[in-house]
Amino acid sequence: MKKVLLSFVFVLVGMFSFAQNTWRVDYAHSSVNFNIKHMGISFVQGRFDKFDGEISTKENVLDDAKFDFVAFPETINTGIEQRDSHLKSADFFDTAKFPEIKFTGVSVLNEKNKTYTLEGKLTIKDVTKEISIPVTFGGVAKNQKGQEVLGVQAKFTINRLDYNIKYDPTGAGVAKDVEVSLFFELVKQ
């Protein structure tokens, strides 16, 4: 009986030491933003107003973390309604046919000084491509409600033509490269 009880205790302790922490996006303190050059002389900035995601970690670090995020292009917001409608059309995101932009993290490489390289798969429209995203880990703190929160930010560039966003393929009016900036605060579940 003692051996059975001792074995049960070791299994239980082992389960807790390998337990995953799940962190969900806190929408009040997160944003999904982009900017793109217009006519080669200025920039248009925008964001997606609706998005979701979570990170699963061992302990409170990003090593071996799993990332899953989604943005909803129907909620694109550049501050100009006519432009936003055009961006939702088949010329750009074709939101009626492709309602989600998805990112799934495959691996995380710890660089140094709270910086990581996140390898994953980004799906926009009908294209999924592997990408590398530099991520800065802000750390873990307690919010005003006493909940643990984790902060990350990422900035990277994609070529929109790679994802079948083919409007103005020369890039003369609407640039090919899109700068993406993500700021996430996530609450431990």
Predicted model pTM = 0.87
> 113 pLDDT band (50/70/90 cuts)?
confident
Count of Cβ atoms closer than 10 Å to residue 108 Cβ: 23
Three-state SS string across 64-121, please?
CCEEEEEECHHHEECCCHHHHHHHHCCCCCCCCCCCCEEEEEEEEEECCCCEEEEEEE
Tens of pLDDT, residues 121-144? 999 999 999 999 999 999 999 999
User: Mean of the pLDDT values across residues 14-34?
Assistant: 83
Domains annotated on the chain, with CATH: 20-188 (2.40.128.110)
Bridge partners (DSSP) listed for residue 44: 36
- Rounded Cα distance between 97 and 100, Å, is 9
> 18 pLDDT band (50/70/90 cuts)?
low
Beta strands 101-110 and 31-38 are unpaired
DSSP string of 10-31, one letter each residue: HHHHHHHHTPEEEEEE-GGG-E
Q: What is the pLDDT of residue 17?
A: 45
pLDDT higher than threshold 70 for residue 104: yes
Q: What is the pLDDT of residue 7?
A: 44
Average pLDDT of the chain, as a whole number: 92
Collapsed DSSP state (helix, strand, coil) of residue 36: strand
Tens of pLDDT, residues 37-74? 999 999 999 999 999 999 999 988 899 999 999 999 99
Tokens representing 101 are 């932009």
Tens of pLDDT, residues 144-187? 999 999 999 999 999 999 999 999 999 999 999 999 999 999 99
Q: What percent of the chain has pLDDT over 70?
A: 90
